[in-house]
Structure 1
Amino acid sequence: MRNDMISKTTDSQLCKDIRLEFYQYVSWTIGNGHHIKFWEDPWINGLPSLSSIVNSEDLSSIGKTLIEFVDDSGQWKFTDESSSLLDDIKQKILEIRPPNVLLGLDVPNWKPEVNGQFSVNNAYHTISNLSEEPRLTKLASCGGTIRDTTGNWWCEFIANLGSASVLSAELWGIFHGLKTAWEQRFRKVILESDSSLAINHVKSNNTRDNSVHPVAYNIKTLLNNRWDVQLKKISRSANSCADVLAEKGLLMHRGFVLLATPPPYVLQHG
């Protein structure tokens, strides 16, 4: 999407202005980090780009992609230039899940749509100031409960995802649920989610769709394992345990935790 937005010297001033207006509604979901530019692209919630808050003419790392700011252990790596960012900006970066080669391609999102997918009609209304404010990402988490065939509690998980959209959080919940079930040696699984959007996203066979969330590739890889998995849509009220776990995830540091015993606040919700 970014390459299509580059202005040419032959473009009219009107076209250049429209491009700038259009691109402010584009954000990125991090995958392998090979396409998103660290300084130039909008990948941090609340910022059009990092280059908008620094003097980009003095940066020697302009043009470098996100993966070049990740160390060998898979964590964010601050260079001499990026270390000069304000502490609150660096904290925002640390709250974002770093890119990983296993996540597939980086994905551009159309911020005014909750599913991140672009449409000409929505773009017209957005740029014409006829729609709501763009839906921004925020701190997010997910959680889930694993039960056996009799419905008895087996284990639970909580994950703090850092900055993520609603759809991203739902997909990460599906991923962690499937991964945990596989690692716990369950081979016949019914995965329940109250998000029809996330379930449809996973079931989509359109592998050429560049709006496919990066973690969806990991979910589909898990689904290709030798086991029987059904994805089932349930009501929000039937998913209260997962919601409680997700709320608790917002209070922890970014990362994944497997719970071997049910905490009291989950027992209260059955």
Structure 2
Amino acid sequence: MLGYARKIGPVNSCLAELWSLRDGLILCVQAQVQALIVEMDAKALVDAFSNQTKSNVVNSSLMEDCRHLASQISQVSFRHVYREANMCADQLAKLGASMENDFVVFSSPPVCIVPFVEADCRGQYVNRLCPVSVSPV
């Protein structure tokens, strides 16, 4: 199990997700991973990787890096998950924002994400809160 965090500074969520994906794919290629399931809470990016014709010109070079890296792995699947199912990644992103180093790879979970890793191992889930509009009676 590997984890990583990067300090990237102020960017929009789409760019942050792409940087994170790129870092993860580089680690997977270096480790010679043969099959990979990528779960992301950025549905627009999952759709972009599922449909190669959709591309955002602003993010195209970073997107192309990710596509090239993914092509080096035999089996890659991109899946959309809600943010609540992505708590470890969310905590690592928060950790990256507060780090002094630019990039850190963890060979064991940092203390701040241990409870989330344990919950994942137990199969616990977090209910997704959805806004409900209540009409007056």
Q: Answer whether TM exceeds 0.5 for this pair.
A: yes
CA separation of 1:162/1:212 partners in 2, compared to 1, >3 Å: closer, same or farther? closer
Give 1:213 deviation, angstroms. Answer: 3.3
Please say if 1:190 is aligned against 2:37.
Answer: yes
Q: 1:208 to 1:197 in 2, by over 3 A?
A: closer
> TM-score w.r.t. structure 1 length?
0.40
Partner deviation per Cα, 1:193-234 (whole Å, 9 max, x = no partner): 111012223344238863443210100111221511101111
Q: Is the 8 A contact 1:201 1:212 kept in 2?
A: no
Does 1:231 find its partner at 2:78? yes
Cα separation, partners in 2 of 1:167 and 1:209, compared to 1, 3 Å: closer
Structure with the higher fraction of residues in helix conformation: 2
Residue ranges of structure 1 left out of the alignment (5+ in a row): 1-153
Q: Which residue of 1 aligns with 2:60?
A: 213
1:135-146 → structure 2 map (5 Å cutoff) = none
Q: Which has the higher contact order (CA 8 A, sep 6+)?
A: 2
- The letter for the 2-side match of 1:251 is S
1:268 aligns with 2:98: no
Confirm or deny that 1:158 pairs with 2:8: no
User: In the alignment, residue 246 of structure 1 is paired with which amino acid?
Assistant: A
CA gap of 1:235–1:209, structure 2 versus 1, over 3 A, is closer
Determine which structure has more spread, i.e. the larger CA radius of gyration. 1
Distance 1:226 1:189 in 2: 8
CA-based RMSD:
2.0
Aligned to 1:171: 18
For 1:170 and 1:186, the matched residues in 2 are separated by: 20
- Give deviations 1:58-88, integer Å, cap 9, x for gaps: xxxxxxxxxxxxxxxxxxxxxxxxxxxxxxx
Structure 1 residues 208, 185: CA separation in 2 closer, same or farther (over 3 Å shift)?
closer
User: Kindly tell me: are residues 257 and 208 of structure 1, through their superposed partners in 2, closer, same or farther at Cα, counting changes over 3 Å?
Assistant: closer
Question: What is the identity percentage for the equivalent residue pairs of Structure 1 and Structure 2?
Answer: 22
Query: What is the one-letter code of the residue matched to 1:181?
Result: C
Q: Is the 8 A contact 2:6 2:103 kept in 1?
A: yes
* CA distance in structure 1 between the partners assigned to 2:55 and 2:26 by the alignment: 25
> CA deviation digits over 1:164-207, x for unaligned, max 9?
11110011121112111221221111011111012223344238
- Tell me how far apart the structure 2 counterparts of residues 164 and 254 of structure 1 sit (CA, whole Å): 18
Counterpart selection for 1:247 from 94, 97, 100: 94
1:192 counterpart SS class: strand
